[in-house]
Each structure stands twice: as structure tokens, then as C-alpha cells.
């Protein structure tokens, strides 16, 4: 049985930071049950992530401090889409800020929702090819270390304990599927 979404009787902000807003929703479900749900709202701009692939078939990852896990995490260049900026432009800007390259070609791998039960934001995942040197100043507090991983070592990367962020793992699996499809594997 397909139901419509719950009726929102009221929504209000319960907390706010410079990046996020926590909103409480007073909901009524189709069976009359009422609940209060909270969700984290981003700036409504969404985010981008890029899997940069160089001419040697190596992925370029970065090691960046993650406050949530309180450690350095290995992942792909990513960031928010600025107001008025197209996601493709944001993807190329993030590449230039975080790894010092721009992509001559950006292919959309997928759009992901990020914890849709609690978070309103989404992220566009791109494959960046035809890389050329180009550096923009970013907002990182320290230089980011780069780690290059040959495509042939994707399985090893998936086992790396520093490579655990779900969006990066999902993006890598989407890339693997795309590359199999490009090579003629119709089961991809």
C-alpha cells in the first residue's frame, strides 16, 4: 500500500550554526499518529565530490582531518556548491583548491542523498578526467596530503582503515561499475 507523506503541521528552527540549521517538524501520519522529527538542513546548495583519474590510471585522494571521527580520513576532493554556482563548476573548483588540478572532462557518476532521514542535503559525484595543473586557494586550514592509488588496487583501497567515509566508498563502487561498463561488461 502506497501512502502519501505525513502532513507537516508545523516546522521551526531549534538550533542554528553558520553551516546548518536543525529544524523540528510536527508530523501527522496517515494513521493519525503524531510525532516530532528533527532534521539537519544545509544551506540548500548541495555538495560535490570528484574522483580525479590521472593519465596513469591513478586516482588522486586526499588525507584530511575529519572533526566527526577526530582523525585523518582518506577520501576524494569534495565541498559545498557556492551560492549561484553550478555543480560542475564547484567540482572543478574543489579539484583546483584541494589537489591543484582541473578536469577537462567531468562525468556525473551519480547523485546521492546523505542520511535522508535526518539531513536535507545531497551530493553530486563526478569522475574527473583529462587533468591539468591549476591551483586555486582553498579554505583548508593546512595543506592536504595527496595519495595516488592505481585503479588496479581498488580492492586494497576498500580495505584501507583510513578509507571509511560512506560517500567515498559509494563513489568508488560507482566508478568501478562505470569503468566495467565502458570496457563492454554488460553486467555492470
Domain 47-182 has CATH 3.90.79.10: yes
Q: pLDDT digit string (tens) for 124-171?
A: 999 999 999 999 998 888 889 999 999 999 999 999 999 999 999 999
Phi, psi angles (nearest 5°) of residue 118 = -130, -10
Q: Where are the domains of the chain?
A: 7-41, 47-182
Query: What is the rounded average pLDDT for all residues in the chain?
Result: 89
Can you give the pLDDT at residue 186?
64
Task: Please give the Cα distance from 154 to 58 (Å, whole number).
Answer: 10
Scanning 20-164, the segments in alpha helix (DSSP H) are 87-98, 154-159
Q: pLDDT digit string (tens) for 67-124?
A: 888 889 999 999 989 889 999 999 999 999 999 999 999 999 999 987 777 777 789 9
Asked if 150 contacts 58 with a C-beta cutoff of 8 angstroms, the reply is yes
- Could you tell me the three cell numbers for 172? 568508488
* pTM for the predicted model, two decimal places: 0.84
Amino acid at each position: 500500500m502506497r501512502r502519501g507523506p505525513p502532513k507537516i503541521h508545523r516546522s521551526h528552527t531549534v538550533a542554528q550554526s553558520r553551516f546548518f540549521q536543525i529544524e523540528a517538524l510536527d508530523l501527522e501520519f496517515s494513521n493519525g499518529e503524531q510525532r516530532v522529527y528533527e532534521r539537519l538542513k544545509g544551506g540548500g546548495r548541495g555538495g560535490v565530490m570528484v574522483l580525479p583519474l590521472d593519465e596513469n590510471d591513478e586516482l588522486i585522494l586526499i588525507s584530511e582531518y575529519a572533526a566527526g571521527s577526530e582523525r585523518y580520513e582518506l577520501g576524494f576532493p569534495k565541498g559545498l556548491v557556492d551560492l549561484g554556482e553550478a555543480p560542475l563548476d564547484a567540482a572543478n573548483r574543489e579539484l583546483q583548491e584541494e589537489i591543484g588540478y582541473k578536469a577537462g572532462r567531468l562525468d556525473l557518476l551519480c547523485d546521492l542523498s546523505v542520511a535522508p532521514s535526518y539531513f536535507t542535503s545531497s551530493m553530486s559525484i563526478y569522475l574527473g578526467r583529462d587533468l591539468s595543473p591549476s591551483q586555486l586557494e582553498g579554505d583548508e586550514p593546512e595543506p592536504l596530503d595527496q595519495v595516488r592509488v592505481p585503479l588496479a588496487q581498488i580492492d586494497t583501497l576498500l580495505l584501507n582503515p583510513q578509507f571509511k567515509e560512506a560517500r567515498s566508498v559509494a563513489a568508488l563502487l560507482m566508478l568501478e561499475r562505470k569503468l566495467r561498463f565502458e570496457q563492454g561488461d554488460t553486467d555492470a
